[in-house]
Amino acid sequence: MSTTFTPDDADAQSAGYNYDESKVASYTLPDPLLCADGTKVTDAKIWREKRRPEILELFRTHMYGRSPAKPAGLVYEAGATDTKALGGKATRREIHIFLDGKKGGHRMTLLLYLPNGAKQPVPAFLGMNFEGNHTIDADPGITISEQWTSDGKERPDKLVKPAETTRGKSIGRWPLEMILARGYAVATVARADVEPDYATGWKHGLRAALSKDGANTQWNTDDWGAVAAWGWGLSRALDYLETDKAVDSKRVALLGHSRLGKAALWAGAEDERFAIVISNNSGEGGAALARRNFGETVERINTSFPHWFCTNFKKYNQDVHHLPVDAHQLIALAAPRPVYVASAEEDKWADPKGEFLSAKFAEPVYRLFNKAGLGVASWPPVNTPVGDVIGYHLRTGKHDVTDYDWARYLDFADRHFRKEKKN
């Protein structure tokens, strides 16, 4: 399987940022088990009922912003179907989901591949794609995405309409046959169907569609940003999967790469129906500890991508040590569900060690549920996956999603989803 996809933008490390471990200043992380009233969480019940809601609120207020509730009566419309896709190995379906609950309203198209011949509902991997459903495979039957995209540019000055020439462009990141052969469905939606990724992209996206003032909305400082909007769209994809009898919606693993890994982690925190959450190279604003000054910083992310987080997050540009939360608490919000954090050795911009440490510092919360964490005290060597309910690996190579990553996620999902079936 080819992995020659040119990463969107995060490959080059920006100059002027710290990549030297010896220059990482000391920092103190907020204690996931210390409640706002100064009492300590001593069991899973107190975590669930008191501390977890507190942390969720802090992330909503200071970082991702507040998302609206699920709209009443989502509308689905069946699109193209092919029961003999991928040489007969799979059934391909497209389902249009009207995110504002109105037929003809704001539309996101879910692309679903189901392994043929399954005797019972199958578990699934759900993930958002960067540049359109048609980029995930060369399958000529996938409808070319309709939303204009940024064509992979980090700070686009103009958008492009997806073209036939981009069909299969991201195939290296979506090894469909490998996933289907293991008995999993693959579901994906395009980020631009939810919100085109540039500063004023929201005016053409879901956030405007759901706001009474549309493109003239004046956002409150804790209103949702693009990352939360993408995450919300992923929850709506899961709403659909719950209605599809071919899929076991209780076994859906949510996976995201990079900025879409941030969205996956946040969606997994907000929506506990996701049975597994996987962060692939999500970096700053995702799995990497914000307080570690290594690679991308809060100030840089808020400057390059002012639309990703809520306005309140910008208060911490110069003051990250006062951010009331950090990434280990985001990982902990997945507990007690299995969560996987993956890093790439050359992806220094995402702070691989900071990604590992957030997984590590989420362990006390998993311990409340008697769940084993990473099982290692320090950052493991490359290509050495570790962990049980919290999984982690550092792979060789660049910022990307590779077959190596997928093989680990498939093993992880097998371990947790198929456990009971082994006996």
Active site residues: 258, 399
Among the residue ranges 38-46, 202-210, 296-304, 412-420, the one whose residues contact ligand GCU (CB under 6 A) = 296-304
Query: Which one among 8, 137, 223, 405 touches ligand GCU, defined by CB under 6 A?
Result: 8
Whose Cβ is closer to ligand GCU: residue 31's or residue 154's? Answer: 154
Whose Cβ is closer to ligand GCU: residue 180's or residue 260's? Answer: 260
Residues 6+ apart with CB under 8 A from 299: 317, 318
Count of CB atoms situated within 10 Å of the CB of 380: 16
Query: Which one among 115, 225, 268, 283 touches ligand GCU, defined by CB under 6 A?
Result: 283
Residues 6+ apart with CB under 8 A from 321: 27, 28, 291
95 forms part of the interface with ligand GCU (CB under 6 A): no
258 forms part of the interface with ligand GCU (CB under 6 A): yes
Q: How far is the CB of 21 from ligand GCU (least distance, A)?
A: 20
For residue 343, list its beta bridge partners. Answer: 394
Whose Cβ is closer to ligand GCU: residue 305's or residue 366's? Answer: 305
d(CA 416, CA 405): 17
CB 309 within 8 A of CB 225: yes
**H/E segment holding residue 113:** strand 107-115
Whose Cβ is closer to ligand GCU: residue 8's or residue 248's? Answer: 8
d(CA 144, CA 151): 14
CB 316 within 8 A of CB 323: yes
Whose Cβ is closer to ligand GCU: residue 156's or residue 283's? Answer: 283
CB 199 within 8 A of CB 168: no
Query: Which one among 248, 271, 296, 347 touches ligand GCU, defined by CB under 6 A?
Result: 296
Phi, psi of 66 (to 5 degrees): -95, 125
Q: What is residue 60's DSSP assignment?
A: I
Residues 6+ apart with CB under 8 A from 134: 142, 143, 144, 145, 162, 166, 167, 168
191 forms part of the interface with ligand GCU (CB under 6 A): no
Which residue's structure tokens are 């362990």? Answer: 363
Whose Cβ is closer to ligand GCU: residue 304's or residue 311's? Answer: 304
Among the residue ranges 72-80, 113-121, 157-165, 282-290, the one whose residues contact ligand GCU (CB under 6 A) = 282-290
d(CA 372, CA 159): 46
Whose Cβ is closer to ligand GCU: residue 91's or residue 293's? Answer: 293
Q: How far is the CB of 7 from ligand GCU (least distance, A)?
A: 7
Whose Cβ is closer to ligand GCU: residue 300's or residue 415's? Answer: 300
User: How many residues are given for the chain?
Assistant: 423
172 forms part of the interface with ligand GCU (CB under 6 A): no
Q: How far is the CB of 327 from ligand GCU (least distance, A)?
A: 12
Binding mask 210-249 for ligand GCU (x = CB under 6 A): ----------------------------------------
Among the residue ranges 3-11, 109-117, 132-140, 207-215, the one whose residues contact ligand GCU (CB under 6 A) = 3-11
Binding mask 128-167 for ligand GCU (x = CB under 6 A): --------------------------x-------------
CB 129 within 8 A of CB 174: yes
284 forms part of the interface with ligand GCU (CB under 6 A): yes
CA 233 to chain centre: 11
Which residue's structure tokens are 């792979």? Answer: 395
Question: Which residues in 342-361 contact ligand GCU (CB under 6 A)?
Answer: 349
Cis peptide before 336 (omega within 30 of 0): yes
Query: Which one among 92, 106, 259, 360 touches ligand GCU, defined by CB under 6 A?
Result: 259
For residue 186, list its beta bridge partners. Answer: 113, 125
Burial (CB < 10 A; 0-12, 13-18, 19+), residue 415, is middle
Half-sphere exposure of 300 (CA within 13 A, CB side): 19
Among the residue ranges 4-12, 47-55, 168-176, 203-211, the one whose residues contact ligand GCU (CB under 6 A) = 4-12
Query: Which one among 126, 136, 247, 301 touches ligand GCU, defined by CB under 6 A?
Result: 301
d(CA 96, CA 199): 26
Contact positions toward ligand GCU, by CB under 6 A?
8-10, 154, 258-259, 283-285, 296, 301, 304, 349
